[in-house]
Every structure is written in C-alpha cells, then in structure tokens.
Amino acid sequence: MRGLFGTPLLCTLLLSALAAPLALQAGNSSTSAAKHPPANVILFIGDGMDEHQITLARNYLLGANGTLAMEQLPVRSSAKVQTLREDDPTQYRYVADSANTASTLATGELTSMGRIATSAGDDRDLPTVLEAARQAGLATGLVTSANLTDATPAAFATHTAHRKCQNPGDMHKPINYVPATQQCLADHESQGGKGSIAEQLLASGVDVLLGGGKKEFTRIDSHTPLEKIAASHGYQLLQQREKLLAYHGNEPLLGLFASGHLPVEWIGEGNRRAEPMAFNLLGEPMFPTPFSCQQNPRHRGTPTLEEMTRVALERLADKSTGFFLMVEGASIDKQAHQRNPCGEIGELQAFDRAVAVGQAFASKQTNTLIIVTADHGQAGQIIPLPEYYQSWGGKQYPPGHYAVLETRSGELMGVSYATNAAPQGKSELHTGVNVPVFLQGIGHRQVPALIDQRTINQLMRQHLGLTSGAQ
C-alpha cells in the first residue's frame, strides 16, 4: 500500500508520543476498558452517493448555502472505486456495483462485480472486518434500508459467488447474464457451500441486524414461523417499528420491517419522476413543469434509518466491548436507478440524519471512528434549467430523463438521468466516479487526499486493533 499517512506534519511529530499507547487500546478486555474507552467503528455507506447526488440533495434540502451533517465531519478524502474483471482478474472495469465495492470495504480486497466477499475468478471466501471484530470479542451490527440480504450488508457477514443468492430457492436457478463461475449452486449447502445469504446471516452471530427483506428469510423454511427460525439462531425477531423503539433487552436482534426493501421516505408530487422529453407537433421540445417532493404515505409505520441506527448503537454500546457497525442508506442508489430525484433526496436526508446520530454518539464515546462514504457513483446530474436551453435556441434539450425540481427555498433545479435510453422498467446505471469519504475520530493521522476502498478497510481494522503492524 502506498504511504497511507502521506506527508508527515509537524503536529504528527509533536504528538507521536501520544500515539503509541493509543495504538494498543483497541480490543481490550473489560478490565482495561476502564482506563481506555472501547474502540468503536461506525461505517456509513450511502449507496450510490457520489458528490453529485450529495450536491443535488443538499441544494434541494438546504439551498445554496447549506451543509449536511456528513459534510461537517472534520476530514475529507476521496476513494477510488476499483473493480476486477471476473473473466480476467488482472484487468479492471471502470464501473462497479454494490457487491464488489461493499466486498472491498468489508474485506480490504478487490473483486469482481456481483461477488459477496469472495475473490474474483477463483471464488475464495475473503474474511471481513466484521468477522474479525466478532472474533476479537467486539459487538457487531448491520443496519440497512434495503433487504438485509442485499449486497451491501451481505458483504460484511456472508460469502457467496453472487449477490443474487439471497435465499435457498435462488440457489438452483441459473442467473442469465452471470458467468458460470458466479452461479449460486456452488454455494448451496448440498454442494458443501455455506448456503444462501439469508441462511449465512442467521448463522453469522451478528448482534444487531435491522432492515428489510422478510421474504428472503421466510423462504429458508416456509413451514416454520419466522420467529421460530430466528429463535433457533438465538435472535429476537422484531417486525414493527413500535417494538423496535420499545425494545430494551439484550438478545441478538433481527429486525425485518418490510417484505422487501423498506419503503422510501419521499416521492415526487403526483408521484412524478424525471421524464423523457416530450415534443409538440412542430417537433419542438416541451420541457417538463417543475414539481416538489412530499412524504411517501407508504413509508408510514416504517422505522427510519435514524431510529434503527439509534437502537443499534444503544444495543452495541451496552456491551462495553467496542463494536463495528455498518449503516447503509440503500435507496439513494435504488431511487437514482429509477430516475426518481425526490426518492433520492428523501433517502439521502434519512441517511444524513443517521450520520448525525452517529456524530452525537461519538461526542460521548470519543474513541469512535466514523467513516461516511459511498460504494460507487450514480447517474443523477444537476444540469441547466429549461430557460437556459431555450435561450440557446434550436432543438437543444437533455437527451435523457429530466426533472425540474422546485426546492425548499423556492428555487428551480434541473436534474438529469442519462445513462440508459431504455424507457420504463429498465433502469439508469452506475457511474465510475470517485466517491467521497468523510472521517471523524481519525485522531492526529493524516488521511491522503486520494485513497482507495481498501484503505477504508485498513483504517477500520487499525482503529479496532485488528491488525498487528503499522501500515
């Protein structure tokens, strides 16, 4: 790895005496925990949340002078997103998916698209930071607004050749466009595999699992009530927001608050999304009218990411062992795929509120490293308003799907999705841009301006004392 801590600063030198004892504090037994607070890591992953998606949400929510909670973390870096080719793992692709990038964040190793903590080409299981934390006696948790079996949470606690192996029923079905080396059958228990993602999660021993995807767990055994399946693995099953907020026991928690992904917080007025350009009889572009965002009535009764994060932090901190917690804002990405700027903005707001909960926690438990990042880029772009296209004359208009949002401060903002011409039902695609990294609790270390996603894994392991040597 290239010089993780970059140019040495004078303050680094002056403070080096302080660094040595701190480096030993992580993973301590409870006796020494009295002297040094336990080391905690909270990794926030905004799925698809590149700088462009952040800017468009901030503009809508807070106007041109706003600052999100995540942007108030003291240190910023940017992470390269690296993806190996399954057919030749010495070569790279320049657009990733959530599976390979979450796998890199989780394991510190690069891999190919679709893979869940397994290696490109040869399908080795790659150990994760969550597993290492658990082995060291730390508490662990995964919180997401998607299915718990979705790629991002899955990559921290399970190992499969492909993200689609979510429940046992998935394992035999051939996956159409996926290479033979990534079909799910090899992961089936009958083939000596570890089983589907849902099965592996239940066996993972992760202390707190909160999200959606009830149907994936139900399919493990349709004859047995889900409570019983959960209990047989030591989990208390929670299925209602009220139960979650009222829970104060200390059993391992499996919270499943929707059949699939959790409903998103916001929708567009009249359910509007970005739309393809319409044309009048003269063939002239007719630009879409502006709209605002509103609450999604379907979200009512669903716990927010903020609420799930708060419960997870309480449960994990109670153990006083130190912990690793991953919190995913999953539907920033999913709503961008669907060209739904209001969905994206509402989910980014929900994610940012969860980050604020993490910051408040870290202000009390100071040995907490917070990293906020994304896994890969998304399609949304802020582009000019209709009046601008019209001022240039002729047939000038955005070639993709376009929305004009009226922001909270009453201004207009043009948003475009233009990575896929396919009409409805098909989705926009990821982009290959670097993703932002915000850090707090990194101490006196310098994080270089450009890192890669492996470095994020190393920073987390270091903070938890899970690696022996210096980088």
- Which of 463, 371, 460 has its CA nearest to residue 70? 371
- Give, as one character, the DSSP assignment of residue 263: P
Q: Which is nearer to its own copies, 68 or 262 (CB)?
A: 68
Minimum CB distance to its own copies, residue 220 (Å)? 30
Q: What is d(CA 245, CA 249) in angstroms, rounded to the nearest whole number?
A: 11
User: Which residue ranges are tagged as binding site for Mg(2+)?
Assistant: 47, 150, 152, 328
**Host H or E run for residue 98:** helix 98-107
- In the block, tokens 């979450």 appear at 102
98 is annotated as an active-site residue: yes
For the bound state, the minimum distance from the C-beta of residue 445 to its own copies, rounded and expressed in Å, comes to 11
Single out the catalytic residue among 98, 145, 196, 204: 98
Q: Quote the Cα angle for 100-374-433, to 5°.
A: 80
What DSSP letter does each residue of 419-456 carry, written as one string?
S----TTS----B---EEEEEES-TTPPPPSEEEHHHH
Token pair, residue 318, equals 């109670």
Point out the annotated binding site for Zn(2+): 47, 333, 337, 375-376, 430
Residue list, annotated binding site: 47, 150, 152, 328, 333, 337, 375-376, 430
Residue 266: strand, helix, or coil? strand
Q: Smaller CB distance to its own copies: residue 24 or 412? A: 412
What would the two tokens of residue 469 be? 């040597």
Element at 415 (helix H, strand E): strand 412-417
Question: Which residue lies nearer to its own copies by CB, 114 or 213?
Answer: 114
Give 4's DSSP letter.
T
**Cβ distance 265 to 304 under 8 Å?**
yes
Shortest Cβ 422–its own copies spacing (Å)? 4
Q: Based on CB atoms, which residue is closest to its own copies, 37 or 205? A: 37
CB of 413 vs its own copies, minimal distance in Å: 4
For residue 362, give the nearest of 330, 328, 325 by alpha carbon: 325
DSSP conformation letters of 220-244: T-TTS-HHHHHHHTTPEEE-SHHHH
Task: Please enumerate in sequence order all residues whose Cβ is within 8 A of that of 337, keeping only pairs 6 or more positions apart, or say none.
Answer: 48, 378, 379, 427, 428, 429
The nearest distance, CB 416 to its own copies, in angstroms, is 7
Q: Which is nearer to its own copies, 236 or 390 (CB)?
A: 390
Compare residues 10 and 470 and give the one whose CB is closer to its own copies: 10
Q: How far apart are CA 405 and CA 414, in angstroms?
A: 6
**HSE, side-chain direction, 13 A CA sphere, residue 266:** 26
Smallest distance, its own copies to C-beta of residue 420, A: 6
- DSSP SS3 for 12: helix
For its own copies, give the closer residue by CB, 59 or 152. Answer: 59
Which two three-digit tokens encode residue 7? Answer: 């140019």
To its own copies, the closest distance from the beta carbon of 44 in angstroms equals 14
Of 402, 120, 123, 90, nearest in space to 275 by CA:
402
Catalytic residues: 98
